[in-house]
Amino acid sequence: MTVHPAERTGTEPLDAGRTVGLADAILERQRARESSARTYARSFPIVPARAQGMTIEGADGRRYLDCLSGAGTLALGHNHPVVTEALRRTLGSGAPLHVLDLATPEKDAFTDALFATLPSGFADRARVHFCGPAGTDAVEAAFKLMQTATGRRGLAAFTGAYHGMTAGALAASGGVTTKQPVPGIAADVTRLPYPYSYRCPFGVGGERGARLSSVYTERLLDDPNGGVVPPAAMILEAVQGEGGAVPAPDAWLRDMRRITSERDIPLIVDEVQTGVGRTGAFWAVEHSGIVPDAMVMSKAIGGGLPLAVLVYHEDYDGWLPGAHTGTFRGNTLAMASGTATLRHVVEEGLTDRAAVVGARMTERLNALRGALPAIGDVRGRGLMIGVELVDPEAEPDSCGARPAAPQVAVQVRAACLERGLIVELGGRYDSTVRLLPPLVITDEEAEAVLDRLADAIAAVTAPQGRGVRA
Ligand SMILES: Cc1ncc(COP(=O)(O)O)c(C=O)c1O
């Protein structure tokens, strides 16, 4: 299916069985039968029927540019030929689809492909543990591994963090609304300030704000009356994803590495969303040159199928057999699609492509700020971009940041959908539009994304000024 990004088919049915009425009926049944915790389905009342590359076609025949990519999962977009071919080959080979954690040629090939991508200084002495197939299980595994290795219990984690929804990962995450209804969830987590320049926890921003975060972290950990018992690990994201595409400065990451090393605190880097080229380095830690003690990986490593691993320095391998087990740790198809994806990203230089296209998109978004004052901040790294929407009439704070505009953000998301563009929100007050296109996005698609986003923001915030271009 070749689809021009701007092409829309209105309400034409896909074929006889896929009609607007059918889509409405499916949506209605979903609303009636699924839990009230359903998420994306609320923001995007569409019924994806087919997808190729960056384009999703709904059951009602409308086409959308998908800038969510399964929350950063689809590095190669939907149904990339190298992925579908790997899946067909594996299905045709008679390989068992489910093998618990037994050795298979597919797992062996995946491990080879994964280890070939690891940062230098990490791969030589790394161990991999295959986890239950979600990022959150790999986060739990990382915590348990380090708790076992250190004999300590607590964790150090950051404001704005997102690590998943199971107990430990949720405790380490920053979002208050998901934790508040779960009594006692956040016990044993020391919350540290993440360097978020626009809404700096110290009210200063920039390099100085990041430096203060380092100083505070170091002094708190050393303060005999600071109330912090040495933690089993520190966990951080090099670029916070759900937190609103907030990149940590490289110097700050190097500070965290030094601070944790000097105090024998294992450093876990959560690369679930940042991995596989998305930030313009294969793994986001590579920008800073740090070597963590453990890396948590999921999303793109499975090429669109569920897969999650924990990779860590062999010195921490003090687990007993079965210490972190689970039924679905040997998904043969995910190993095959994951291997194909990892290799393709490397062979096609898609990491560099993400850096180049991401920089261009960020530049154009920055240029829009004059015409669209509701854009308070544009930030990110590679193809992990955040556009924070604010109230331009309100007084700025000491860093120049204006209050978040959550209602406007919701309207912009809906206006984007009307224009055939899928973008999700995140960050503080859910006011940041997050762009997570596949790494294979074409120049034309990138332009179309920005045109539609700019038009949506203009339509919501300045209806007379529609059609704004950089
Ligand atoms: C950085 C990070 N860690 C962990 C997770 C949890 O992954 P999953 O949703 O597969 O459990 C996510 C999901 O968005 C994430 O972005």
C-alpha to C-alpha distance for 266 and 294, rounded to whole angstroms:
8
Whether residue 428 lies inside any domain: the answer is no
Instruction: Indicate if 309 and 396 belong to the same structural domain.
Output: no
> Residue 463 sits in which domain range?
368-377+392-406+450-470
| Lowest-confidence segment of 120-124, 263-267, 269-273, 354-358 by average pLDDT | 120-124
Instruction: Indicate if 254 and 140 belong to the same structural domain.
Output: yes
Instruction: Indicate if 400 and 339 belong to the same structural domain.
Output: no
Q: Which residues lie closer than 8 Å to 309 by C-beta, 6 or more apart?
A: 114, 128, 129, 130, 131, 138, 296, 297, 298, 301
List, for residues 27-39, the tens digit of each pLDDT value.
999 999 999 999 9
- List the alpha helices (DSSP H) in 399-464: 406-418, 443-461
Best residue for ligand 1 mutational test, from 246, 296, 298, 436 (most atoms within 8 Å of Cβ):
298
For atom 8 of ligand 1, which residue has the closest CA? 135
Burial class (CB in 10 A: 0-12, 13-18, 19+), 403: middle
For atom 7 of ligand 1, which residue has the closest CA? 135
Instruction: Indicate if 188 and 284 belong to the same structural domain.
Output: yes
List, for residues 301-316, the tens digit of each pLDDT value.
999 999 999 999 999 9
pLDDT of residue 11: 38
Best residue for ligand 1 mutational test, from 73, 272, 309 (most atoms within 8 Å of Cβ):
272
pLDDT at 287 over 80: yes
Question: Cα dihedral sign for 52, 384, 71, 23?
Answer: negative
List, for residues 120-144, the tens digit of each pLDDT value.
889 999 999 999 999 999 999 999 9
Whether residue 56 lies inside any domain: the answer is no
| Lowest-confidence segment of 15-24, 61-70, 263-272, 356-365 by average pLDDT | 15-24
The residue ranges of DSSP E strands in 229-383, in sequence order, are 233-236, 239-240, 246-247, 267-270, 294-297, 309-313, 375-381
Q: Which atom of ligand 1 lies at the shortest distance from residue 237's CA? A: 1
pLDDT of residue 7: 41
Instruction: Indicate if 336 and 402 belong to the same structural domain.
Output: no
pLDDT at 332 over 60: yes
d(CA 273, ligand 1 centre) in Å: 7
The residue ranges of DSSP E strands in 208-266, in sequence order, are 233-236, 239-240, 246-247
pLDDT of residue 18: 53
d(CA 369, ligand 1 centre) in Å: 30
Confidence of residue 9 (pLDDT cuts 50, 70, 90): very low
| Token pair in block for residue 413 | 């998301």
Q: What is the pTM of this model?
A: 0.95
Whether residue 22 lies inside any domain: the answer is no
Instruction: Indicate if 113 and 192 belong to the same structural domain.
Output: yes
d(CA 134, ligand 1 centre) in Å: 7
d(CA 15, ligand 1 centre) in Å: 36
Instruction: Indicate if 372 and 227 belong to the same structural domain.
Output: no
d(CA 129, ligand 1 centre) in Å: 17
Q: Which atom of ligand 1 lies at the shortest distance from residue 137's CA? A: 11
Whether residue 227 lies inside any domain: the answer is yes
d(CA 136, ligand 1 centre) in Å: 6
Q: Which atom of ligand 1 lies at the shortest distance from residue 139's CA? A: 4
pLDDT of residue 14: 52
d(CA 297, ligand 1 centre) in Å: 9
Whether residue 412 lies inside any domain: the answer is no
Q: Which residues lie closer than 8 Å to 79 by C-beta, 6 or more apart?
A: 51, 52, 53
Strand partners, 190: 156
Q: For all residues of the chain together, what is the average pLDDT?
A: 94
Mean pLDDT of 252-273: 98
For atom 13 of ligand 1, which residue has the closest CA? 164
List, for residues 81-103, the tens digit of each pLDDT value.
999 999 999 999 999 999 999 99
Instruction: Indicate if 118 and 238 belong to the same structural domain.
Output: yes
Give how many domains the chain has, as a whole number.
2
For atom 4 of ligand 1, which residue has the closest CA? 163
C-alpha to C-alpha distance for 70 and 63, rounded to whole angstroms:
16
| Nearest residue to 138 (alpha-carbon basis) of 297, 330, 313, 347 | 297
Q: Which atom of ligand 1 lies at the shortest distance from residue 134's CA? A: 10
Instruction: Indicate if 306 and 400 belong to the same structural domain.
Output: no
d(CA 62, ligand 1 centre) in Å: 29
Mean pLDDT of 430-455: 98
Q: Which atom of ligand 1 lies at the shortest distance from residue 241's CA? A: 16
| Token pair in block for residue 50 | 């087919």
CB neighbourhood size of 318 (10 A)? 12
For helices 350-367 and 332-347, give the axis angle rounded to 10 degrees.
70
| Nearest residue to 329 (alpha-carbon basis) of 298, 365, 287, 283 | 298
Confidence of residue 10 (pLDDT cuts 50, 70, 90): very low
Instruction: Indicate if 208 and 322 belong to the same structural domain.
Output: yes
CA distances from 100 to 92, 93, 319, 386 (A): 20, 19, 18, 39
Instruction: Indicate if 251 and 202 belong to the same structural domain.
Output: yes
Whether residue 58 lies inside any domain: the answer is no
Helix (H, G, I), strand (E, B) or coil at 277: coil
Whether residue 109 lies inside any domain: the answer is yes
Instruction: Indicate if 324 and 187 belong to the same structural domain.
Output: yes
pLDDT at 75 over 90: yes
Whether residue 74 lies inside any domain: the answer is no
Q: How far is CA 199 from the centre of its chain?
A: 20
Residues with CB under 6 A from ligand 1: 71, 134-136, 139, 162-164, 237, 241-242, 270, 272-273, 298
d(CA 164, ligand 1 centre) in Å: 5
C-alpha to C-alpha distance for 201 and 278, rounded to whole angstroms:
27
